[in-house]
Amino acid sequence: MKTQQIDQFAAGVSEETRHAVYDGSKVGHEKRTKVLFDHFGAPDRLRRLAGEIKQHVIENLDTYLPAVEARLAANGVKVHWASTAQAACEAVHSILKARGATRLVKAKTMVSEEIELDAYLRERGIESLETDLGEFIVQLDHDHPSHIVKPIIHKNRAQIAALFEKNGLGAYNDDPATITQRARQFLRHKYLEADAGLTGANFVVAESGRMVVVTNEGNARFCLAATRCHIALVGIEKILPSDGDLALFLNLLARSATAQQLTVYNEFILGPRAPGQPDGPDETHVILVDNGRTDVLASDCRDILRCIRCGACLNVCPVYRQAGGHAYRSVYPGPVGAVLSPLLLGKRFPEKADLPKASSLCGACNEVCPVDIPIPDLLLRLRDKAHTEGVPSPGTPPMGAWALMATRPVAWRAALAGGHLLNHLPTSLIPVPALRAWEQSRELPPWRGGAFRAWLKMRRKPGTGT
């Protein structure tokens, strides 16, 4: 029988990668829980509060977006709007072109992956270089990130050492410290030669127009210290109402993402560099990107727009741990990606309509989410959407026969009795294809159908005295 797409992918994942992803995500999750509960008596209260704030923002984007635009402009930032990936790429290109810029360094921008900016700029003779160590390695290897905050969770040091050797970054050496030092030396000169720095933004505050960019490596800071032009690609949902909210969100983000009390670098940007400051941008651009977000807003899954990209739901997800990030075929993997990625496709939703099925609906993703997104509910809504729209669902067991049986007592009794045959059948002869597939890697418990009914029937009723 044909399995679901994500299972097909997972079947091809090497043992090495599976262990790397499993161990990495498990450790991340355990540390997160410890630090949150050690530090705060009731972290769930904080998660709910943060969720309410972001839900308020996305349900009032019609007022927040113009407010942010006005604030940014008042701070000396040039604001651009891009409704599609193409428009966002064009906006970046036209800013670079106007400055005669040919070298771009990037940090902390998943939107640039989403809009496939690298290829667009390359075709136009512009180098666009990732500077986060993991993202840099992924770019060198023509690979894709497989985790929101740990992009190369699927790679080991030997693979990286071989890649560096192949790309002229020194003779083979798989010591992580050496790998990091080599990247440091290579990249610092790239920053200094670059004409512009491109980042995302973790938050943009409506009240002040303050953008916040958070990194551990300091790569976004280097982009903004070495270059003269800062371009920020910002999804329209990244807004927070006021500066005061930053303390809540920064506390939650660092702990949820990497179990840190605070990420190493938190940069708060109002606009171009201060007078007298020799380093940093004299031009700051913000490109507000839609690229499908308004479709998400129009759907009954708009809650997913609360997401602050911490990756906690990936770390805790039993499906992500087994399948890895690439199985989701999207920039956004894991539970959040299973909701967001199909929706961002708009009319092409059927292409990724299988992702919401790649979940056991165990609810762990909701429990860890720093903005309390009810991911399992959203997954169910998307399953319903796929069903309603008649999207074919290869590899999922048909439930029609089950429904027929479960709603007719006679059929049900017959099935309970007949099921005992399963105990004597070899796996290959089990008449239900889904069960056959299941049995390939697991064993069914012995069939005991009817035992409960028999017990119930024979049981003496309490108080009857008989």
**Binding positions for other proteins, 136-155, rule CB under 8 A:** 137, 150-153
* Radius of gyration in angstroms for the set of CA atoms belonging to the chain, rounded to a whole number: 26
Amino acid at 61: L
Q: Which helix H or strand E contains 437, and what residues bound it?
A: helix 433-439
Residues 317-336 that bind other proteins (CB under 8 A): none
Q: Compare residues 50 and 368 and give the one whose CB is closer to other proteins.
A: 50
Residue 464 DSSP symbol: S
Residues 277-296 that bind other proteins (CB under 8 A): 277-280, 288, 290, 294-295
Contact 199, 224 (CB under 8 A): yes
Of the candidate residues 171, 177, 456, 458, the single one contacting other proteins (CB under 8 A)? 177
Q: Which helix H or strand E contains 267, and what residues bound it?
A: strand 265-269
Residues 55-74 that bind other proteins (CB under 8 A): 55-56, 59-62, 65-66
Residues 84-113 that bind other proteins (CB under 8 A): 87, 90-91
Per CB under 8 A, which region of 175-183, 364-372, 391-399, 440-448 contacts other proteins? 175-183
Per CB under 8 A, which region of 269-277, 331-339, 404-412, 453-461 contacts other proteins? 269-277
Residues 24-53 that bind other proteins (CB under 8 A): 24, 27, 39-41, 45-46, 49, 52-53
Contact 86, 53 (CB under 8 A): no
Which of these, 29, 15, 263, lies nearest to 156 by C-alpha position?
Answer: 15
Residues 6+ apart with CB under 8 A from 61: 236, 237, 239, 297
Q: Compare residues 140 and 432 and give the one whose CB is closer to other proteins.
A: 140
From the CB of 280, what's the least distance to other proteins, in Å?
Answer: 5
From the CB of 117, what's the least distance to other proteins, in Å?
Answer: 16
Half-sphere exposure at residue 305, Cβ-oriented, CA atoms within 13 angstroms: 31
> What are the DSSP calls for 185-230, one per residue?
HHHHHHHHH-SEEEE--SEEETTT--EEEEESS-HHHHHHHH-SEE
Amino acid at 110: M
Q: Compare residues 249 and 332 and give the one whose CB is closer to other proteins.
A: 249
Query: At 314, is the secondary structure helix, strand, or coil?
Result: helix
Per DSSP (E only), the strands in 236-274 are 239-240, 265-269
From the CB of 49, what's the least distance to other proteins, in Å?
Answer: 6
Q: Give yes or no for residue 226 binding other proteins (CB under 8 A).
A: yes
Per CB under 8 A, which region of 7-15, 235-243, 348-356, 358-366 contacts other proteins? 235-243
Contact letters (x/-) for other proteins, 9-28, by CB under 8 A?
A: -----------x--xx--x-
Residue 154 DSSP symbol: T
Of the candidate residues 202, 251, 315, 359, the single one contacting other proteins (CB under 8 A)? 251
Q: Compare residues 192 and 403 and give the one whose CB is closer to other proteins.
A: 192
Of the candidate residues 9, 22, 81, 447, the single one contacting other proteins (CB under 8 A)? 81
